[in-house]
Amino acid sequence: MSGKSVATPDFYTYEWDPIAGAEVDGRFVDLRWSDGAELRAVDFWLRENAVGAGGVDLATREGLFDPAELCDDIAIAALEVGPDGELRITWAPDGVEAVYHPGWLRHVADGQHLATSWIPRPVPWTAATMPELPTHDGSKVLDDDAVFAGWLNDMLRHGVSRLRGCPTDADFNSALAGRIGAVRDTNFGAHWDVKADVAMAGDASTNSTANTNRRLGPHTDLPTRETPPGFQFLRCIANEAGGGFSTMADGAAVVDALCAEHPEHYEALTTLRWVFFNRGPGIDHRWSGPLIDLGVDGSPLTLRAFYPVRGFPDMAAEDMPRAYAAMSCFSRLADSDRFKLASPFLPGDLVGFDNRRILHGRDAFESGGHRHLRGMYIDHDEVRSAARVVNRRLGQTHSTPNS
- Which stretches of the chain bind Fe ion, using CB under 5 A? 221
Q: Which residues does residue 222 pair with via DSSP β-bridges, in sequence order?
A: none
Give the Å distances, CA to CA, from 149 to 54, 62, 72, 383, 397: 38, 28, 46, 11, 12
Residue 260: its H or E element = helix 251-261
Output the smallest distance, CB 269 to Fe ion, in A. Answer: 20
Give the Å distances, CA to CA, from 177 to 99, 119, 148, 214, 245: 40, 19, 12, 30, 25
Nearer to Fe ion, 194 or 272 (CB): 194
Output the smallest distance, CB 355 to Fe ion, in A. Answer: 8
Q: Is 248 helix (H, G, I), strand (E, B) or coil?
A: strand
Point out the residue whose Cβ comes nearest to Fe ion: 221
Nearer to Fe ion, 221 or 250 (CB): 221
Nearer to Fe ion, 101 or 356 (CB): 356
Output the smallest distance, CB 189 to Fe ion, in A. Answer: 15
Output the smallest distance, CB 221 to Fe ion, in A. Answer: 4
Nearer to Fe ion, 221 or 379 (CB): 221
Output the smallest distance, CB 219 to Fe ion, in A. Answer: 6
Contact 79, 121 (CB under 8 A): no
* Gap between the Cα atoms of 307 and 299, Å rounded: 24
- What burial class does residue 35 get, using C-beta atoms within 10 Å of its C-beta: 0-12 exposed, 13-18 middle, 19+ buried? exposed
Q: Which residues does residue 79 pair with via DSSP β-bridges, in sequence order?
A: 89
Nearer to Fe ion, 112 or 246 (CB): 246
Nearer to Fe ion, 48 or 221 (CB): 221
Output the smallest distance, CB 224 to Fe ion, in A. Answer: 12
Max Cα-Cα span within the chain: 79
Output the smallest distance, CB 226 to Fe ion, in A. Answer: 19
In order, the DSSP letters of 3-55 are: GGG---SSS---------EEEEETTEEEEE-TTS-EEEEEHHHHHHT-BTTTS
Nearer to Fe ion, 43 or 221 (CB): 221
